[in-house]
Amino acid sequence: MENLSVIMDGKPKESARSSIGKIGEDIACDFLRSKGYTIIDRNYRRPWGELDIVSKKHGKFHFVEVKTVSCEINNDVTRETPPCYGHRPEDNVHRLKLKRISRVIQSYCADKKISDSEQIQLDIISIFLDVSKKTARIRRLKDIIIE
């Protein structure tokens, strides 16, 4: 796999992983906007975790976790390149990750004074990114249950 480190306008290099992640989050935001969502916040960080995207549609807050993988996309077939063999990107949102996300959502709601009566939802967006062809596929899982 080619190195995706970039230098932009004299800024320091980003790692390939963070560069791919940022591209994936940008694509997810564009996708959500095209579906009528308003992007409220991005990369809300706390020591115990981060929310990638906070969006809103029809009065409901959608907290979106984005998982991006680099892969080769051929017509209707997506062939994931290592280290992705054997699992889907959303599989990286495991039980412990969900627990951290839940805690950050609670912090966000407290900080932004979002009441318990307002509707909230957790979604996962998987981005399959073919860097060489500059194309992407998107898969969205809605209303993930947090225990």
Domain extent listing, the chain: 16-141
CA pseudo-torsion sign 54, 123, 83, 49: positive
DSSP 3-state helix, strand, coil percentages of the chain (rounded to 5)? Answer: 25, 35, 35
Residue 20: what pLDDT? 87
| b (16+ CB within 10 A) / e for 4-16 | beeeeeeeeebeb
- Residue whose entry in the numeric block shows the structure tokens 């909230």: 120
Residue 142: what pLDDT? 95
C-alpha closest to that of 29 among 59, 76, 66, 4: 66
pLDDT in tens, the chain (147 residues): 223 333 344 444 557 767 888 999 999 999 999 999 999 999 999 999 999 999 999 999 999 999 998 877 765 554 544 445 456 778 788 888 999 999 999 999 999 999 877 899 999 999 998 888 888 999 999 999 886
Residue 5: what pLDDT? 35
Residue 92: what pLDDT? 80
**Does pTM top 0.75 for this prediction?**
yes
DSSP E strand stretches across 23-110: 38-46, 49-57, 60-74, 77-80
Q: Is residue 61 within 8 Å of 40, Cβ to Cβ?
A: yes
Residue 82: what pLDDT? 46
Considering the domain 16-141 in this protein, what is its CATH number? 3.40.1350.10
Helix (H, G, I), strand (E, B) or coil at 131: coil
Q: How many CB atoms lie within 10 A of CB 142?
A: 11
